[in-house]
Amino acid sequence: MSVLHPLSPQPFPKEALVARLSVAAFALILAFVGSMFSPLMLLGLLALALVGLMVFEVGWVGGSGDEPRLALPERRRRES
Percent of the chain's residues with pLDDT above 70: 60
The pLDDT tens digits for 7-30 are 665 666 788 888 989 999 999 999
pTM of the predicted model as reported, rounded to 2 decimal places: 0.62
| Model pLDDT, residue 40 | 93
Q: How confident is the model at residue 47 (pLDDT cuts 50, 70, 90)?
A: very high
Alpha helices (H) in 1-80, listed in sequence order: 4-7, 14-32, 39-59
Q: How confident is the model at residue 62 (pLDDT cuts 50, 70, 90)?
A: low
Proportion of the chain in helix, strand, coil states, percent, rounded to 5: 60, 0, 40
Residue 13's identity, in one-letter code, is P
Distance CA 24, CA 49 (A): 9
Domain coordinates in residue numbering, the chain: 14-58
